[in-house]
Amino acid sequence: MKRRDFMKALSATGLSLGLGMRGIDIAAADEGPIKVGILHSLSGTMAISESTLKDNMLMLIAEQNAKGGVLGRKLEPVVVDPASNWPLFAEKARELLAKEKVAAIFGCWTSVSRKSVLPVVEELDGILFYPVQFEGEESSRNIFYTGAAPNQQAIPAVDYLMNELGITRWVLAGTDYVYPRTTNKILEAYLKQKGVAEADIMINYTPFGQSDWQSIVTQIKQFGSAGKPTAVVSTINGDANVPFYRELANQGIKSQDIPVMAFSVGEQELSGIDTKPLVGHLAAWNYFESVKTPENAAFIKQWHKFTGDDKRVTNDPMEAEYIAFHMWIKALEKAKTTQADKIIDALIGVEVPNLTGSTAKMLPNHYITKPVLIGEIQGDGQFQVVWSTPKPVPGDAWSNYLPGSKDLIADWTKPIDCGAYNTVTKKCTGSGA
């Protein structure tokens, strides 16, 4: 018998046996305020990106409470600071679920933080909404991935550079952790499948918080001097982006020479630097603040009012969290409970408007549909959209370009009910975590 089926059967008997199972605990506590865990770094190297997401969640919760809450109950945010410390993410997640009894957690940025939290939410039968682009290669029943999978960001970005700009020589530059390494493994396989020679691919990794970029940017400049159109595909994360872009400007590398396509640089990261020397460099996301839709205009207005600062920018992970929050609210209304197992089942198939004019749908693999946008950096720190997919792209949990993944799918509906189902052997191999 599967764990959740056992829990349902046990719940039906009215017994808990002292096991501390989350589904039973929450089902017995469908009263009072609904606690919402906010697990974002407010200090350390990732605070430059994550602190805004904490404010975003507080705004969304305040807005929902102004509407009367949900299920006749107000939402109560519980904010913790994992401080850019990956083991501390797991500790704080356990605190939120076991001590604070939150109904869901919205949080994490880096994949290493998510992977630290994953076994905790699975053990305690919690729910985590993860709002940032990542490497895929994972599908947990207890996690909902509203950021972009590689086929919703990395692959379309490389196609744009190859087809629109004629790039034939590639620098894959990233921070040294799981997301850049796995994404670049996928991109390297994809590029070679497209006929790119190994000699035309340079891969470089740097630690979190890297501050000295002079020698690395010099190497990039030399690599790009071979007479072939060259681009940097950047998975550099956190505050290391500020000195990286400054050094590009210091060494006179302009977008028409060696364009940089960033996957982790948005309006928030650019707000701390002079962007005039960076005009024309690129980023691939699923949302930009500059998108002109009524939904986005209302969101930006709400953000400025909430923060009291008309200069506070919005960004892609904020939209991903906006989508996740509204999907969760719909699932609560549908299930009429905060009990985790019922919410997890209710979330599949839920659709909500995104901020770019289309609809986001939660898929059976716990990924969502997202449009893909390419934006050029402007002198004011915003992005001008230069390319987009004609319609939202369904997120793939498993890459078609890695030998160990190409036969896998994720589907949390019956009869498959598995995060890593091998379509050849017809067997479930787990979640890939």
Shared-domain flag, residues 250 and 309? no
Compute the distance between CA of residue 316 and CA of residue 322 in angstroms, rounded to an integer.
10
- Please tell me the predicted confidence (pLDDT) of residue 26: 42
**Does the pLDDT value for residue 10 go beyond 60?**
no
Q: Say whether both 242 and 309 belong to one domain.
A: no
97 and 198 assigned to the same domain? no
Question: How much is the average pLDDT of 87-91?
Answer: 98
Q: What is the pLDDT of residues 19-78, one digit of tens each?
A: 444 443 444 356 799 999 999 999 999 998 999 999 999 999 999 999 999 999 999 999
Packed helices 316-335 and 294-307: angle between N→C axes, nearest 10 degrees:
100
The answer on 95 and 136 residing in a single domain is yes
Report the pLDDT value the prediction gives residue 276, as an integer from 0 to 100. Answer: 87
Residues 16 and 131 in one domain: yes
Which stretches within 240-397 are classed as H helix?
A: 241-250, 267-270, 294-307, 316-335, 340-347
pLDDT of 1 over the 90 cut: no
pLDDT at position 179 over 70: yes
Q: Give the residue among 107, 110, 108, 237 at the shortest CA–CA distance from 178.
A: 110
- Which range of residues forms the domain containing residue 179? 151-285
Find the radius of gyration of the CA atoms of the chain: 22
* Per-residue pLDDT at 198 exceeds 90: yes
The answer to whether residue 272 sits within a structural domain is yes
pLDDT tens, residue by residue, 287-328: 999 999 999 999 999 999 999 999 999 999 999 999 999 999
The pLDDT of residue 126 is 98
pLDDT digits (tens, 9 = 90+) for 121-158: 999 999 999 999 999 999 999 999 999 999 999 999 99
Residues 120, 92: Cα–Cα separation, whole Å: 10
Percentage of the residues of the chain whose pLDDT score is greater than 70: 92
Average pLDDT rounded to a whole number, residues 402-418: 96
pLDDT class for 433, splitting at 50, 70, 90?
low
| Same structural domain, 254 and 306 | no
* 114 is a domain residue: yes
Q: Which of 259, 285, 311 is the last residue of a domain?
A: 285
Judgement on whether residues 56 and 28 belong to the same structural domain of the protein: yes
On the question of pLDDT at 3 being above 60, the answer is no
Kindly state whether residue 402 falls inside one of the protein's structural domains: no
In a domain, 52, yes or no: yes
Residue 35, domain member (yes or no): yes
Q: Residue 335: helix, strand or coil by DSSP?
A: helix
Mean pLDDT for 188-213 is 97
Identify whether residues 271 and 302 lie together within a single domain: no
Q: Is the pLDDT of residue 107 over 50?
A: yes
In a domain, 198, yes or no: yes
- CA-angle at 388, arms to 386 and 391, nearest 5°: 160
Average pLDDT, the chain: 92
Domain-ending residue, one of 347, 368, 384: 384
Mean pLDDT, range 345-369, rounded to an integer: 98
Rounded CA separation 380/275 (Å) = 7
pLDDT of residue 238: 85
Identify the weakest region by mean pLDDT among 95-104, 252-261, 262-271, 347-356.
262-271
Q: What percent of the chain lies above the pLDDT cut of 90?
A: 86
| Shared domain check, 322 and 260 | no
Q: What is the CATH number of the domain that holds 84?
A: 3.40.50.2300
Are 127 and 171 contained in the same domain? no
Same structural domain, 276 and 299: no
Residues 321, 336 within the same domain: yes
Predicted confidence band of residue 277 (pLDDT cuts 50, 70, 90): confident
Whether 411 maps to a domain, the answer reads no
The answer to whether residue 393 is domain-embedded is no
Domain finish residue from 285, 308, 333: 285
Q: Quick one: pLDDT at residue 312?
A: 95
Q: How many domains does one find in the chain? A: 2
pLDDT at res. 20: 43
Q: Pick from 22, 36, 39, 101: which is nearest to 69 by CA?
A: 36
